[in-house]
Amino acid sequence: MVMKKLFTAIGVAAAAFALSLSAASPAAAVPAQAPTPVKSRIESTTAADTVAPASAVEQRTCRARFSENVNHRLRAEAGSAILGSIPAGAWVQTSCTRVAGGEYTACGLSSDFWMEVYWNGNWGHGAWGCVKDWEFTS
């Protein structure tokens, strides 16, 4: 009987510990519907875990479109200068990864993740929470 209580207590403690780790996970801050880009504006890729000749390197670029009109900001901060407005649904060249910056609330979400965006001849930032579609272009 004592052993049963001891093992039950250990099991409860282990479950509580596991739940505390998952609750502190930074993944909870990522919007559920948002795509997850991999690397930078132009990424070099080779076969995994192999050394390839320079001719085997592939260049990748990305594009995205937003669900609503989004401010094109100079920096990844809500108070940064606005370079323009990106219309909803317009495909724009983007980085292949999100970047951390200042916190904002847009498109029904609060986040501190931004996407580098090329619009009207300038690189700037758009709210990651408003990304509707995202894809590699090459």
Q: Is 31 within 8 Å of 109 (Cβ atoms)?
A: yes
Provide DSSP, 93-135: EEEEEEEEEEEEEETTEEEEEEEEEEETTEEEEEEGGGEEEEE
Tens digits of residue pLDDT in 73-100 = 999 999 999 999 999 999 999 998 899 9
Tens digits of residue pLDDT in 5-31 = 544 555 545 554 444 544 444 444 444
Nearest to 100 by CA among 64, 66, 76, 124: 76
Mean pLDDT to the nearest integer, 46-55? 46
Residues of the chain above pLDDT 70, percent: 57
Q: What pLDDT, on the 0 to 100 scale, is given for residue 29?
A: 43
| CA dist 110 → 62, 103, 114, 128, 136 (Å) | 24, 7, 11, 10, 25
For residues 16 and 23, what is the distance between their CA atoms, to the nearest angstrom?
11
Confidence band of 137 (pLDDT split at 50, 70, 90): confident
The full set of domain ranges for the chain reads 1-29, 31-136
Residue 123 has pLDDT above 50, yes or no: yes
Q: Determine if the pTM surpasses 0.95.
A: no
